[in-house]
Structure 1
Amino acid sequence: MNRRAFLQWGAAAPFLSWLPSSVPASPSQRRVLVLVKLAGGNDGLNTLIPHVDPLYYSLRPTLAIPRHQVIDTGQGMGLNPYLKALKPWWDAGQMAWVQGVGYPHGDLSHFRSNDIWETASTAQRAPEQGWLAQTFAGNGLHGIVMGEQLGPLLGKDCHALAMQSPAVFLSQVSLVDDIAPATITPALAHLTRTQHQLYTAGQQLSSKLHQPVAVGVPFATSALGRDLESVAQMILSGVDAPVYLVTQEGFDTHSNQVVAHSNLLHHLAGGLDSFARAMQRGGRWNDVVVMTYSEFGRRAQENRGKGTDHGTASVQLLLGGRVRGGIYGDAPRLHELDADGNPQQTVDFRKVYGTLAQQWLGLKNPWAQFGTLPLV
């Protein structure tokens, strides 16, 4: 390997996060799971709203969404008005909510709870594999992350790409020349093998993305909108990845929550609606499930800063052509808060994970002891 080749490898290597021993052609994946991480701790009570419970309004005198603004679901709960772009999907029976989601003795640390959600383990020492990495096996591309953190796709046997955007990825891998693997030393063998795999991965993705299929639907210019548009473009262009991960930042709403949370939900709903319409237009809507997750929820009672502090149980949203619409799990029992003032967790999040791993992606379910839900 000459110096030029080594520098080219070094420039592009950060964008390669999967290193299978080979990259065989694989049959086209049909079913896709799109994860949307709501980073910071989404306030479930102001997302899926218990608007028929007077305690909701007592606990949140300035944060509660007025009854006349809540979008009624007909199932005792209501949608935040800033989620109105998703109402047609609810009416079509293609949107589901799981409420009371969490795990026993929820941790209020962003870092610790994030590890728990992304590894599906409450063990004191977090596993070195994300929850999806524990279910995948074999070669081929397992997932694409829009960003830098692989999260649930982290693991030595999970082959995932992390990228800023398809355009940036292609510009980086274009710097890499192919090179024959060398065996002079273990270190050089690793470097040359990595460069060869990066080149191969880049060529395979380039063949799909240099002439991408137009999504045909306008997306918002927010960071989430751009990432969801990139995911839609890759799916419609035939990139064979069963999992995609995007992140929306900003949900740690300790103060002045009303405006901040409303804007976040507005961008979330708009992005998901555009994505759903793009999938529908491209004939892939029945092949895709979108699932949100967040490291924890918020306290039931608002704080002095007109915000909410770290809580435990929250809600998850699922969207897709084959999603069985409805509300799953028990409504929050605001008269039975725990000692810290949090709604009780009633659905273990691993029940949701196991459902999608087993019933949607056709993978093994390491969390069968938690049961499944009829979500798909």
Structure 2
Amino acid sequence: MKRREFLSMAAATGAALSMPRAFSAPVPTSGVVPQPHACATAAGRRGKLLILIELKGGNDGLNTVVPFADSAYYTLRRHIAIPRDRVIALDERMALHPSLRSLLPLWRSGQLAVVQGVGCAQASPSHFRSTEIWDTGSRADVYRREGWLTRAFAQWRVPQVRASVATFGSVEAGPFAGLSFAHASRGAWTHVLDPDDAPCANRSKVNQAEDDRVTGGAFYAPIAQLSRPTTFLDSIDAALRTLRTALVSTKPGSYGAIRVTLDGFDTHANQPERHAALLEQLAQGCAMLHAELARRGDWNDTLIITYSEFGRSARENMVRGTEHGGAAAHFVMGGRVRGGLYGQPPDLARLDTTGQLPVEIDFRRLYATVLGPFWALDAREVLQDDVKQLPLLRA
């Protein structure tokens, strides 16, 4: 499917994004010792693709998945609440923001899960620290340098298994921080500088140093002068074209993880219009991913998860915005997803001492669900904690 065909499905709007980056690499040779069952079965199975969508800035969960039946919601948000007659009802209590209408086909087909009350207990109000917590898959009192996906890739040490990673819309390594490409042979991995060049990715100019690590610094490589996607939908399109060309994608014996960042969710003022435009881009981007991956026959082997460093305050501020908050709802999509609402609806009569929604579901349970049921890896080893998975996936 051509780029113009994708963009005819969904008009691109707003939200300037950063430089796209894409990598395909052999499995790292250092890190967590893999579990035997993961290595024994991985090579013979069809590959699995994870797509993370980062809602950068702290997404307002209450206006994304709306508790429209709760009068307290309208009391706390007199100027920014979504009117009852505009929401897209999911059940008698909860609804989607009207800008998320493009997600309805996935909801109706049972392939969209809405996980409520997700967050990190005792989280920091700092964007930097909260993002670090989510990227490393750690508790609030634990500091790590490696991203959680970096630790996951360390478990794949079977020669027949290949892992591919890519990030679009952000120059930060995020969950790929510290990913090692040590001992990569010439031509074994691809560095795509410009997604428009993905069909003819240059394998001859990558750094073949013996300890080539993808770190935050490496993500600022000398490519600032190259063209870049200007909208979230451009980034989605670039990711799809990279999947078709430069990355291993979901071929048998291969595994992939892509992060696409949509920036602009730090809505301290004039939130309604800004948030609506961002959510529309999110929904259209997910619809694009679904359409192309279903066409390719890869939808059943793909898992899409949204994440954000924190939610927003339950009460609006004086300038039609919200402050940094606590728990929020997140989306999980894919052909194997058991659709529906998970977790408890937000209880606005039971805010914590800072006036925020308390965390009901540890965000790492989303990661444990990817690592265990989806990728057949040892989630305890990767997360270095006993984190229970969520019942989101069909066998």
TM-score normalised over the length of structure 1: 0.78
Q: How far, CA to CA, are the matches of 2:163 and 2:54 in structure 1?
A: 21
Q: Which residue of 1 aligns with 2:205?
A: 176
Deviation per CA, 1:338-366, whole angstroms, max 9, x where unpaired?
Answer: 11111111000011110111111222202
TM-superposed deviation, 1:232: 2.1
SS, match of residue 98 in structure 1: strand
SS, match of residue 386 in structure 2: helix
Is the CA contact (8 Å cut-off) linking 2:233 and 2:285 kept in structure 1?
A: yes
1:362 matches 2:352: no
Deviation per CA, 1:4-37, whole angstroms, max 9, x where unpaired?
Answer: xxxxxxxxxx976968789xxx888521110000
Change (3 A) 1:294 1:21: closer
Higher helix share: 1
Is the CA contact (8 Å cut-off) linking 2:27 and 2:153 kept in structure 1?
A: no
Q: Which residue of 1 aligns with 2:94?
A: 77
Q: Which residue of 2 aligns with 1:141?
A: 163
Q: Partner letter of residue 230 of structure 1?
A: A
Q: How far, CA to CA, are the matches of 1:191 and 1:145 in structure 2?
A: 21
Q: How far, CA to CA, are the matches of 1:61 and 1:119 in structure 2?
A: 37
SS, match of residue 337 in structure 2: coil
Q: Which residue of 2 aligns with 1:57?
A: 74
SS, match of residue 228 in structure 1: helix
1:229 matches 2:237: yes
Q: How far, CA to CA, are the matches of 1:278 and 1:169 in structure 2?
A: 17
| Number of residue pairs matched by the alignment | 323
Determine what percentage of the aligned residue pairs are the same residue.
Answer: 36
Is the CA contact (8 Å cut-off) linking 2:305 and 2:332 kept in structure 1?
A: yes
Q: Partner letter of residue 239 of structure 2?
A: V
Q: Which residue of 1 aligns with 2:5?
A: none
TM-superposed deviation, 1:236: 4.0
Q: How far, CA to CA, are the matches of 1:126 and 1:17 in structure 2?
A: 27
Matches for 1:87-126 after TM superposition, within 5 Å = 87-122=104-139, 124=141, 126=143
Q: Which residue of 1 aligns with 2:349?
A: 335
Q: Which residue of 2 aligns with 1:287?
A: 301
Q: Which residue of 2 aligns with 1:305?
A: 319
Change (3 A) 1:362 1:158: farther
Q: Partner letter of residue 352 of structure 2?
A: D
SS, match of residue 50 in structure 2: strand
Which of 271, 274, 297 pairs up with 1:257?
Answer: 271
Is the CA contact (8 Å cut-off) linking 1:148 and 1:163 kept in structure 2?
A: no
Deviation per CA, 1:123-174, whole angstroms, max 9, x where unpaired?
Answer: 5462111111122223743411124222112224478977554335678846
TM-superposed deviation, 1:284: 1.3
Q: How far, CA to CA, are the matches of 2:356 and 2:236 in structure 1?
A: 32
Q: Partner letter of residue 319 of structure 2?
A: G
Structure 2 unmatched ranges of 5 or more: 1-20, 30-42, 183-188, 213-228, 250-255
TM-superposed deviation, 1:300: 0.3
Q: Partner letter of residue 48 of structure 2?
A: R
1:277 matches 2:279: no
Q: Which residue of 1 aligns with 2:258?
A: 244
Q: Which residue of 2 aligns with 1:375?
A: 392
Q: How far, CA to CA, are the matches of 1:149 and 1:162 in structure 2?
A: 16
TM-score normalised over the length of structure 2: 0.74
Change (3 A) 1:164 1:44: farther
Q: Which residue of 2 aligns with 1:151?
A: 174
Is the CA contact (8 Å cut-off) linking 2:51 and 2:303 kept in structure 1?
A: yes
Structure 1 unmatched ranges of 5 or more: 1-13, 178-189, 196-220
Bigger radius of gyration: 1
Higher strand share: 2
TM-superposed deviation, 1:369: 2.3
Q: Which residue of 2 aligns with 1:31?
A: 48
Q: How far, CA to CA, are the matches of 1:15 and 1:236 in structure 2?
A: 12
SS, match of residue 153 in structure 2: coil
Deviation per CA, 1:194-218, whole angstroms, max 9, x where unpaired?
Answer: 79xxxxxxxxxxxxxxxxxxxxxxx
Change (3 A) 1:95 1:321: same
